[in-house]
Amino acid sequence: MLDDIARTAPERHLVRYSGRGAFSPEIIARAEGSSVFTEDGRELLDFTSGQMSAILGHAHPEIVATVREQVARLDHLYSGMLSRPVLDLAQRLAETLPEPLDKAMFLTTGAEANEAALRMAKLVTGGHEVVSFARSWHGMTQAAANATYSAGRVGYGPAAPGNFALPVPDRFRPGIVDADGNLDWRRQLDLGFELIDAQSVGSLAACLVEPVLSSGGVIDLPPGYLAALRDKCRERGMLLILDEAQTGLCRTGDWYAFERDGVVPDILTLSKTLGAGLPLAAVLTSAEIEQKAHDRGFLFFTTHVNDPLPAAVGNTVLDVLGRDRLDVRARELGVRLRGGLDELAARHPVIGDVRGRGLLVGLELVGGPGGEDADKLGAAVTRRCAELGLHMNIVQLPGMGGTFRIAPPLTATDAEIDRGLAILDTALAETAGR
């Protein structure tokens, strides 16, 4: 049972920062592997990897050892100083990426990385206009928030001029269809840019997108879409920025989600997965773009830029990913997870769609047999999963609250995947059947 302090502290002392969502009712005492444990001793299987970040699970022994060793040796420096962990991580990340992505800077969060990438793109192109998806989430800092359309736009005054929304190529709920009733993403993309061109003042700088929209409902861009989007950018002198906060570093079964399409972005941002739950982000670009930005006075001087402690953690993350072949493991576990969810979909009519790649999977509910809307049903299933020992996450957007984002750690076991599926099965049966 929660004590009085734990029960009243959120209401009395904490700022509520999630908009629609409330804090979880239980206090988490510790976490290990694929599970978190409450102060009451309850275990919750973590099917969100913390905030979609802890790809190596919680308290991975090699991460723990790195933090203990590095914090005792070199934790933080003046931002103009360099350290061996930073130099090593820059070189090693470049080695995992195709040419010409060989220049890196390290920051703390995905929002900060996207802010730096947009700032760089505007400086290099001389433009200021930014295109992103209508259900995007790129962060809460100024430029990143202006490029975020899924939430947080109401009540804060005017957004910066020159931000345009592009329709989302959602195959389950297509906005534009072909003669067979399937998503016609090429026509949708053409129409999207016709509208952008009509509104642009001729100052297009960048297109910032995720290869798989996560907060937007786990929407995997159709094969061919990313290449067509790159061509639209090149025609207009724009830079293509890919935000792989949640898809980068083996989550989708490839080291980077863009590899499937053979499209190399002008700028790549990484965060969440790079630190495996610790605050580490990166901006990666070509030597040519970096030189142009430098020549024009690129400024992104922050307190924790290129800090040695998180960089050391990033090196350990790369060690474990490569040694344990976690890209292959993500594909294998993804097949197991997807197969189990497809089997649930065959037995639960409230499941409308299962989609995603590797260990980033979306499950969308379509409402209950009694007419319950999907948002309410999703919230009820989430609560019942938590009661049964499984932490799940639904998209916190009106009209999309029946879409689960399922992202277990890459280190999860087969048994943990099966246990999570069994709990979800029970929760669906008990909730949707009421």
* Tens digit of each residue's pLDDT (9 = 90 or more) over 217-255: 999 999 999 999 999 999 999 999 999 999 999 999 999
Yes or no: say if 173 and 364 are a contact pair by the CB < 8 Å rule.
no
Query: Which one of 243, 307, 364, 372 is the catalytic residue?
Result: 243
Catalytic-residue membership of 220:
no
Question: Is 292 a catalytic site residue?
Answer: no
Active-site choice (137, 184, 266, 329): 137
Tell me which of 115, 236, 405, 416 is the catalytic residue: 405
- Cβ atoms of residues 243 and 273 within 8 Å: no
User: What's residue 434's pLDDT?
Assistant: 59
Alpha-helical runs (H) found in 255-373? 287-295, 308-323, 326-347
Q: Is the peptide bond before 100 cis (omega within 30 degrees of 0)?
A: yes
d(CA 408, CA 151): 24
For position 63, what pLDDT does the model report?
98
Q: Is residue 185 among the annotated active site residues?
A: no
SS3 state at 361: strand
C-alpha–C-alpha distance, residues 247 and 175, integer Å = 25
pLDDT digits (tens, 9 = 90+) for 351-377: 999 999 999 999 999 976 665 688 889
What's the CA gap between 382 and 388, in Å, rounded?
10
Nearest to 277 by CA among 246, 306, 320: 246
Q: Split the chain (434 residues) into runs of 10 and give each run's mean pLDDT.
A: 61 79 85 97 97 97 98 97 98 98 97 97 98 88 75 79 95 95 97 98 98 95 98 98 98 98 98 97 98 98 97 98 98 98 97 97 84 84 96 78 93 98 97 76
Q: Which member of 119, 135, 236, 272 is catalytic? A: 272
The answer to whether 239 and 230 are in contact (CB under 8 A) is no
pLDDT at 368: 65
53 contacts: CB under 8 Å, gap ≥ 6: 272, 273, 275, 276, 277
Task: Kindly list the structural domains of the chain, giving each domain's residue range(s) and its CATH number in brackets, ordered by start.
Answer: 4-61+325-432 (3.90.1150.10), 78-322 (3.40.640.10)
- Is 232 a residue of the active site? no
188 is catalytic: no
Choose the catalytic residue: 115, 129, 170, 210: 210
255 catalytic residue (yes or no): no
Give me the half-sphere count of Cα atoms (radius 13 Å) on the Cβ side of residue 6: 12
According to the model, what pLDDT value does residue 400 have?
Answer: 66
Classify 211 as helix, strand or coil: coil
